[in-house]
Every structure is written in C-alpha cells, then in structure tokens.
Amino acid sequence: MPATNTRKVILDNQIRLLMEPLKEVPSVCVGLWVCTGSRDESPEENGLTHFIEHMLFKGTSKRNALEIAKEIDRIGGVINAFTGREYTCFYTKVLKSHVEKGFDILSDIFFNSRFDPDDVERERQVILQEIRMIQDTPDEYVHELFYQDLWGSHALGAPISGTMETVGSFAREDIVAYFRQHYMGSRVILSVAGNIDPEEIISLGARYFGSNEFTDNNVLAPIPADTHTGIHHHPRELEQLHVCWGGKGCARTDQERYPLYAISTYLGGGMSSRLFQEVREKRGLVYSIYSYANFFRSEGNFTVAWSAQKDHFDEILDVVTREITRVRQEGIPSKDLKEIKEQMKGNLLLSLEGTNSRMNKLATDEIYFGTSIPIEKVVAQVDAITEEDVERVAEKYVRPDEFCMTSLGPPG
C-alpha cells in the first residue's frame, strides 16, 4: 500500500487548502467545505444550513442556475453538495484538463450567489417537497425520528432539512444573515484529490479563493449532547414496523471508535453478521436488519435498526437483546475478531478508491483532527484492536438498559 502523500497550505485569508495527488486516475475532485452544520442552528434556525446549500446553486452575478448546470455538463463533470450535522460540502468532479473550471464555478457560487427573492420562494417549495419525501419513506424517516428521541431538544436531534414550520418561516434576510455569520474564512476548507499538480492547485486556490477577504465573527462552540432513554412509538398506517434501538457512543476523535465499530460490524455489519444470520437467515423475520455507529465532535451513537411485521417485534427484540448480551458478556471470539478486522480494513480501503472519497477523507480528517491521518495508521489502529478493548467498549456503550427505542408503524 503506497504511503499517503498529502499537503496542506494556508491561503492568505486563512482558508485551508488540502491536496492529495493520485496520478493513476483521470479525474480531480474539488470540495469546498464549511465547518458548519445543522447542530450549529438554534431551534428557530433549523434547516437554514440546508437551505443555503440549495441556494448556492440558484444563480450568481455571473451565471444563472441553468448556466451553472450547462457549464458542468459540457465538460462531463459533476457538481453537487451535501449538508451534515457538523459540516457542509460543495464539490465538483472533473477531468484533469478542466480543473480550473471546477475552481471557477465553486468560487462563483460561494462568493457571488444572489439569493434572489424569487429563487428563495421557489427553492422553499423544493425543500418542503424534500421533507415530505423523507417523511413518506419510513425506513429513512424512522432514523430522523430516532435522532429526535435520542438527542431530545439538542440540535443534534433536529432534522438536517428543517421542518415544515421552520423552512416555511425563513425570510431572505434570515438566510443571508446566517450565511454571513457562519460561512467564514477560518471555517472554510478546500480539499482537492486526484490527478493534480500541487503547485497548479495552490495557484488556482489563491486565484479563486485566496483573494477574498473574510471577517471572522464570533460563533459559539457547539454544546455537547446527552442521550435520552425511553420507548417512543410514532403511529402510522404502514404494513411494517420500523425500529431503531440504540444509545450513546463515543466521539469521532476517541480511540474507542475502533472497537465500537468492530462491535457494530460483528453484530450487524453485513450478510454474515450475527443479527443478519440469526434474525433473517435462520428465522426469516425481516428483510433488513443492521447496526451502525455514528461519531460526532464530542459524542456519538450506536444503533440497531430493522423493519418487520408488527407481530414479529417481540421475537426480534428477544434475539437482538440476546446477541447484544452475549457480546457484553463474552466479547467477540478471537477467530471472529480477526475476521472482523479484515472486513473493516477491506471496507475502508475499497471505500477510498475514488477521488470523491479521498477528497472527503482529507477534509474530515482536517475538521476533526487538524491534520491528514495516513491510511496506514488507520489500518494499524484496526489491527491493534484486542478482545479486551471490545469487552471494555461493549460494557461502556452497548447498554440496552440505557438505550432509546423509536418505532414507526401500525398503532397499538
């Protein structure tokens, strides 16, 4: 496995420019990241970050929305964005020969978006449709409800897209004010991965992003979140009952994330996992059952999720509880742990084959660790997981007595 070859440069206005040359690929992925997400919003602001993500594609002083799309389509490129709970990313993926066009368009939408009042009203309707679409997709919506039940009134529990009420209330002035307050130089990262000449990228970064002045405003540090317990049923006339059951996990920077992820992989991380085999393959009670661990700046969560007929609920819960209890009491057997670590490493390395994922890793490493974490180091940390680590972390985080349960489906 080749050594990681990354580079970091601070532009004159404090934007961080991250680069990873990958000479074996034809493309370049350029990501513009802002270290603000839905957890930075007040209850009244919920959904503003996601609204801004949409608005930056609606036209600038140089290009309208159609021209932005056409310029990317003409060169066979991709432009898109996503909003998370702790960051927002706008990115473009182009062939090496068109990398300057990628910088040009990203710079334009970031610095010159007009936030036209008519566009705000049109996009408001688009986002309201997006919220309805999520609510009409129960196996997705149950996770949104689970976060609300798990994190309570904390901003981590609020939906990233906002609510019908908050999105319906935003005025153009609210959107522009929030953008000016939160999208600042010290919070901006440029992440570039692909077939690049680093010196050319530094020049393009300085030309398209480095000359813009920023005035950093005071933004409060995010408040840590506490998890809540309890059973929460959200009735809806559906064929199946959709369930999320989980609780507190560790932070993104905590070394315990490796054994916790190993536990999640062992319990519900694939077709050979304990839950998939016991609940689906042996008993035929579900089509889908899995577990996952999410990691944030100062907290995280471990969760098991499934969908099934309501009358199977008790049997499924009994099997899941038994498997969790077995891991808490016995850990992961040595042979299984060795296989799980190989699965984790394989998943990691395969996920980093594309320029998109390399660009994402560069940026998220910077956001959470302040530096690039070599892939070799991550692999070594996976290899270093011991049975004792698993037992300790399972005892700390995989605690059904402290879990929160959210269900969405038939009443009663």
CATH number of 230-409: 3.30.830.10
The domains of the chain are located at 7-210, 230-409
The yes-or-no answer to whether 7-210 and 230-409 have a common fold is yes
Q: Is the pLDDT of residue 271 over 90?
A: yes
**What is the reported pLDDT for 4?**
63
Over residues 280-294, mean pLDDT: 97
Cα separation, 190 vs 103, whole angstroms = 10
**What is the reported pLDDT for 3?**
43
Cα separation, 327 vs 325, whole angstroms = 5
Torsion of CA 299, 16, 18, 194, to 10 degrees: 110
Q: What is the pLDDT of residues 209-245, one digit of tens each?
A: 998 887 776 667 778 999 999 999 999 999 999 999 9
Q: Is the pLDDT of residue 317 over 80?
A: yes
Q: What is the pLDDT of residues 30-55, one digit of tens each?
A: 999 999 999 999 999 999 999 999 99
Active-site residue (options: 20, 45, 53, 366):
53
List Cβ<8 Å contacts ≥24 apart for 360-363.
360/31, 360/89, 360/191, 362/6, 362/18, 362/19, 362/20, 362/191, 362/192, 362/193, 363/18, 363/31, 363/33, 363/87, 363/89, 363/189, 363/191
Q: What is the mean pLDDT of the chain?
A: 96
Continuous segment of H or E residues that includes residue 243: strand 241-249
Q: Determine what percent of the chain is predicted with pLDDT higher than 90.
A: 95
What is 7-210's CATH number, 3.30.230.10, 3.40.640.10, 3.30.830.10, 3.65.10.10? 3.30.830.10
Cβ of 59: how many Cβ atoms within 10 Å? 22
Per-residue CA distances from 17 to 4, 94, 108, 192 (Å)? 16, 18, 17, 8
383 beta partners: none
Per-residue CA distances from 270 to 57, 73, 117, 218, 280 (Å)? 37, 36, 47, 44, 12
Q: Is the pLDDT of residue 2 over 60?
A: no
**What is the reported pLDDT for 162?**
98
Structure token pair of residue 27:
């493309």
376 is known as an active-site residue: no
Cα separation, 120 vs 175, whole angstroms = 9
Over residues 118-127, mean pLDDT: 98
Q: What is the pLDDT of residues 131-160, one digit of tens each?
A: 999 999 999 999 999 999 999 999 999 999
**What is the reported pLDDT for 287?**
95
Structure token pair of residue 144:
């949104």
